[in-house]
Amino acid sequence: MLNFFIKVVIFTIQKKLNANISYFFKKNNYSLIFKLITFAYQKQNFTHYMNDIEVLNKLNSIKDAGNVKNIDFLFASLLSSNKDVFNLSFNIIIDIKDNNFKSIIFNFISNDKYSSIKKDIVSICWQSSISFCSEISLFFDILINDDIEIAIEALSVIENCYGNTANNNSFVDGVDKLKAQLNTIDNELKRNLISNFLLSYSA
């Protein structure tokens, strides 16, 4: 088992450092081997760091475009674990003023690849300068079917549209759907959230 582990370590470090270290194992120079392992790990992290720098540089170069030309890159950047990359990407997306963005964002909302950030994507829709009121039925469906965190963001979109589309058929249909399905919603917090909205809508 130990020999297998040693072989794995050798292979891993050689791949990362492009160097042959089996010589040091033969010489029992474990102190140097440990340093090499540490260096290999740091090099990997440094590579990730440099990738983040490159992404941030590209984001800064397109942040004032305001169009959907780089939309795939922007949403891919939202998946980054780097907070600076995420925040800059998010803010750029919010500032997009291209009306084609409306149809595009729905593809990302329904794409399982982005399920881990669905809450953030839905929140873009109420923070964006573009109105999503004509697609309000989608957000009623999200409010009913998704978990509470995502539902809250969908409700924010709905509330933003309330003053503008209260007489719109899609809005009224959505309210009717909420009333019909309210008692089937298991999550108590979400049920109360919807109940309060319905009360304010009826007032």
Whether 124 maps to a domain, the answer reads no
Tell me the CB-side half-sphere exposure of residue 24, using CA atoms within 13 A. 18
Q: Are residues 88 and 107 in the same domain?
A: yes
Q: Are residues 198 and 145 in the same domain?
A: yes
Of the three residues 76, 91, 116, the one that is the final residue of a domain is 116
**59 Cβ neighbours under 8 A, 6+ residues apart:** 74, 77, 85, 88, 89, 92
Q: Among candidates 103, 192, 102, 107, which has minimal Cα distance to 143?
A: 192
Q: Are residues 146 and 112 in the same domain?
A: no
What local confidence, expressed as pLDDT, does residue 163 receive? 72
Q: Are residues 13 and 32 in the same domain?
A: yes
Q: Are residues 150 and 104 in the same domain?
A: no
Of the three residues 20, 36, 62, the one that is the final residue of a domain is 62
How many independent structural domains does the chain possess? 3
Whether 126 maps to a domain, the answer reads no
Whether 23 maps to a domain, the answer reads yes
Q: How far apart are CA 105 and CA 69, in angstroms?
A: 13
Q: How far apart are CA 170 and CA 77, in angstroms?
A: 33
Q: Among candidates 150, 167, 154, 164, which has minimal Cα distance to 178?
A: 154
- Tokens of residue 91, six digits: 């803010």
Q: Are residues 42 and 32 in the same domain?
A: yes
Q: Are residues 56 and 13 in the same domain?
A: yes
- Tell me the torsion sign for CA atoms 44, 45, 49, 55: positive
CA 194 to chain centre: 25
Looking at 79-187, list the stretches that DSSP marks H as alpha helix, in order from N- to C-terminal side.
83-94, 101-110, 118-127, 136-145, 148-165, 169-181
Q: Are residues 40 and 89 in the same domain?
A: no
Whether 24 maps to a domain, the answer reads yes
Q: Are residues 74 and 45 in the same domain?
A: no
Q: Are residues 72 and 101 in the same domain?
A: yes
Whether 125 maps to a domain, the answer reads no
What local confidence, expressed as pLDDT, does residue 45 receive? 45
Q: Are residues 95 and 144 in the same domain?
A: no
What local confidence, expressed as pLDDT, does residue 129 receive? 87
Whether 39 maps to a domain, the answer reads yes
Q: Are residues 47 and 96 in the same domain?
A: no
Q: Cα torsion for 50, 54, 56, 61, to the nearest 10°? A: 160
What local confidence, expressed as pLDDT, does residue 5 receive? 45
pLDDT per residue rounded down to tens, the chain (203 residues): 444 444 444 455 454 444 444 544 455 555 655 555 554 544 444 444 458 888 888 888 888 877 788 899 999 999 998 999 999 999 999 999 888 898 899 999 999 999 999 999 999 999 998 999 989 999 999 999 999 999 999 999 999 988 775 557 888 899 999 999 999 999 999 999 999 999 988 75
What local confidence, expressed as pLDDT, does residue 167 receive? 55
Whether 122 maps to a domain, the answer reads no
Whether 123 maps to a domain, the answer reads no
Domain span at 148? 131-203
